[in-house]
Amino acid sequence: MSRLTPTRPARSAPGPRRVLLAGSAGNFTEWYEFGVYGAFATVIADRFFTPAHAAGQGGAGPLVAAYASFAVSFFFRPAGAVLFGRIGDRAGRRPALVLVIALMTLATTLIGLLPDRDTIGVAAPWLLTLLRVLQGLCLGGEFGGAVALMAESAPPGRRGRHGAWQSFTVALGLLAGAAVAALLAALLTPAALHAWGWRVPFLLALPLGLAAYRLRTGLPDDPPPPPPPPAAGEPGRRAVGTVLPVGTVRAVGLGVGRLMGWSAAGYTFLVVLPSYLQATLGASFRQALTATALANLGFAAAILPAGILSDRVGRRPVMLAGALGVTLLALPLFHLLQDPAAGAPVKAAAVLGAGATVGLLAGPGPAMLAEMFPARVRCTGLGLAYALTGAVFSGCAGLVITALTAATGDHDVPAYYAAGTCALSALALAGVRGDDHRRPLR
């Protein structure tokens, strides 16, 4: 009797829920760290960018330097989008996403262990900036791979819902970062928080990242087919000096226009707000963190409903409502925050509503981008559009707002920034086709 050699069963493709979890877990970890950095910007400015002889003297210079380091990392996001996007488009979504989360977790953990300026001198801010650059590269690659994975695995009529999970985990990550910072501020003395407590949230990224890494390595390899040769008359020829077809380059530019309001308003209300409230309005650290947590809570609460609604009525009306809402309400919101006669509950409700308005942009945004690009360049195209927008309108938000406010003394600078970009974004969003949510992905 011959023996039969057992064969290993083929690995089944993951279901939509498993794909969502794998994509969302890594995204949560990466944006958690960005929330932590924003919450502790004033502490980081003092520990890394303030000379020892000037500690405690205040001034906007160190805070501007801390946000400059923040902005530098964003300018490396487009390079990360191209680097990891090409891996995702050629070798499959899984290898790119696994590599991204491994490198991001390493960089974040090292920030928590990095000696400050009092210990190693001028090397400290340079090393911090180098780690922020690595994080920028990773975050640039995260969005394209995660959104492509989520959109492509979505059941018919649910791309908005699935894509919204990417934005939802951004909100959860930012909210978790602010919440951990607020908890530490409540449990530790200001001296302990300043000396070592700020490191704890960065070190917590290690177990979070390892869990996300394990989830992503459990996904099977499923590389996309090689790109077909362009047919005659199609915009498939390569743009000079680029790795993308001309039509894709144009789509990236249009994507930047559609995203700029979401990007600028999101970072104004969700990341820059704590240091703005402290440096400009004299709020305490705890008050600033509470306001930021409320804004992120409103943002998170609106994202999934906005994505689901966009599957029914289309991406355009939902996103236009968000862009026009920020355009009209940003200035009244900041006047309310500056008004000493306004009660705390009223200010809390206003900040909560501001976050929810940005959520109307963030919910349908990922699906809208995925629908703009064909599969063979989807990771690279949508990732690059998102990364370029972030580099210009998010990474520079803290730097521009802090520097202009200090230079002009105008406390309304954040409102002008958010409202102006959303007004321009509304013009670009008006061109979204009304039936894109019903069409199959290319």
> What domains sit in the chain, N to C, each tagged with a CATH number?
16-222+244-429 (1.20.1250.20)
H-assigned helices in 40-60: 41-48
**Tokens 């000493």 label which residue?**
340
| 197: its two tokens | 């407590």
Q: Check whether 11 has a pLDDT greater than 50.
A: no
Which among 70, 46, 40, 52 has a CA at the least distance from the CA of 403?
70
pLDDT of residue 8: 42
pLDDT tens digits for 183-231?
A: 888 888 888 888 888 889 889 889 988 988 888 887 766 555 455 555 4
pLDDT of residue 362: 92
pLDDT of residue 405: 78
pLDDT of residue 294: 84
pLDDT of residue 238: 52
| N residues, the chain | 442
pLDDT of residue 364: 92
% pLDDT > 70, the chain:
84
| 266: its two tokens | 């999101």
pLDDT tens digits for 344-388?
A: 788 788 888 888 999 999 999 999 999 899 888 888 888 899 989
Mean pLDDT along residues 169-176:
81
pLDDT tens digits for 316-333?
A: 999 999 999 999 988 888
CA distance 338 to 235: 51
pLDDT of residue 64: 64
H-assigned helices in 339-439: 344-362, 365-370, 378-389, 397-408, 413-429
pLDDT higher at 4 or 111: 111
pLDDT of residue 297: 86
Is the Cα dihedral 84, 85, 87, 92 positive or negative?
positive
Which among 365, 378, 18 has a CA at the least distance from the CA of 167?
365
